């Protein structure tokens, strides 16, 4: 039962990583990368490393998303810098 959940979490990390690279809008790519680090924190817990998971949840999912949001706001909107597909 739990192995299935671990495999599902790892598959969702893969999907959100691919989406963060491929999406044309920068804001949605930022949301997807935040989801990748969020699920990475969950998989750290499932692999019995709770302190690493706490650091990942604080830094990767919270602080990195805020810094990306600030950078996107300062560099001209969500559509700048990435080509339309």
Partner 1 sequence: MADFIVRIAAVLIFFSIVFGALRLIIGKTLMDRVVAIDMLTVVSIALVTLYAHLSGRFVYIDVALVYGLLSFLAVLAIARFLEKGP
Binding residues for partner 1, per CB under 8 A? 1-2, 4-5, 8-9, 12, 15-16, 19, 25, 27-28, 31-32, 34-35, 38-39, 41-42, 45-46, 50, 53-54, 57-58, 61-62, 65-66, 69, 72-73, 76-78
User: Least CB distance from residue 83 to partner 1, whole Å?
Assistant: 18
Query: What is the Cα–Cα distance from 8 to 79, expressed in whole angstroms?
Result: 31
Query: What is the Cα–Cα distance from 20 to 44, expressed in whole angstroms?
Result: 21
State the DSSP H helix or E strand holding residue 76, giving kind and residue range, or none if neither.
none
Query: What is the Cα–Cα distance from 41 to 54, expressed in whole angstroms?
Result: 7
Question: Of the two residues 54 and 82, which places its CB atom closer to partner 1 in the complex?
Answer: 54
């Amino acid at each position: 039962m739990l192995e299935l959940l671990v495999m599902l979490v790892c598959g969702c990390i893969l999907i959100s990583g691919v989406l963060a690279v491929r999406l044309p809008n920068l804001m949605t790519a930022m949301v997807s990368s935040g989801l990748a680090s969020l699920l990475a924190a969950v998989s750290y817990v499932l692999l019995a490393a709770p302190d690493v998971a706490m650091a990942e949840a604080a830094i990767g999912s919270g602080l990195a998303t805020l810094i990306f949001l600030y950078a996107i706001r300062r560099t001209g909107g969500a559509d700048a810098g990435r080509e339309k597909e």
